[in-house]
Amino acid sequence: MSKKKLDPRVLRTQQLLRDALVELIHERGYEKIKVQDITERATLNRATFYLHYRDKLDLLSQSSEEILNDLIKRINDSLGNRDEIDFQSDQPHDTFVHIFEQISSNSKLYKVFLTEKNMPHFTSRMMDVFIEFITKGMAQMQPDDHKLTVPREIAIRYIASAFLGVVTWWLENDMPYTPKHMATLLMRLAIKGPYIDDPFFQ
């Protein structure tokens, strides 16, 4: 059964409300926002808001899930191409690039949801996305637990936390590098670490 395509007017209304929410959280903080504030910023009436959402928490939750589901879809579509990561190449795998492109195209939302107070749910969900991605990548790179220097679950958490920290830094600093360059740097760190070949670290 095919999924019903949403009316473009509905999508536009939801986007206006999402944008208004993000702007207001950045300006005032989530706790100080009322539905009336959101509708006024979006230049819509309250009746229109309640056609789509129960309250501001519902808007927040749905906006979070939609953006993260889109990120997951892009990751899975890219991994589904079955092009193995070339660990000897300095060129980023498409998956890394797609992650940063998706974040870049929704940068206002990510920046607010990752950096504002009282938004732990989004950070936790994004961490879960990275954990799943890293788990699959590590399974391809080294499936044998005995050849890892630390337990696999610790390595996965460590790398995923680093990914999230780097993404947050990138957004907080207004994305000083392109998505492709960030993908290159992150893949290099994940595979080779931060050090240039040096006998001291070998």
Cα separation, 82 vs 101, in Å, equals 20
CB 160 within 8 A of CB 134: yes
pLDDT (tens digit, 9 = 90+) per residue, 10-35?
999 999 999 999 999 999 999 999 99
In terms of Cα–Cα distance, which of 94, 98, 91 is closest to 72?
A: 98
- DSSP character for 116? S
**Matching residue, tokens 């539905």:** 35
pLDDT at 187 over 50: yes
Cα separation, 80 vs 184, in Å, equals 20
Give the 3-state secondary structure of 54-65: CCHHHHHHHHHH
Average pLDDT over residues 60-79: 92
| Range scoring the smallest mean pLDDT among 94-108, 113-127, 166-180 | 113-127
Cα separation, 156 vs 112, in Å, equals 26
Percent of the chain having pLDDT more than 70? Answer: 89
| pLDDT the model gives residue 189 | 86
| pLDDT the model gives residue 83 | 55
Axis crossing angle, helix 56-79 with helix 35-42, rounded to the nearest 10: 60
| pLDDT the model gives residue 86 | 55
| pLDDT the model gives residue 1 | 40
| pLDDT the model gives residue 190 | 80
Structure token digits, residue 115:
């950096």
In terms of Cα–Cα distance, which of 147, 137, 159 is closest to 83?
A: 137
| pLDDT the model gives residue 122 | 93
pLDDT level of residue 138 (50, 70, 90 thresholds): confident
CB 75 within 8 A of CB 99: yes
Task: Please say whether the dihedral angle defined by the alpha carbons of residues 145, 149, 154 and 155, taken in this order, is positive or negative.
Answer: negative
> Rounded mean pLDDT of the chain?
88
Percent of the chain having pLDDT more than 90? Answer: 70
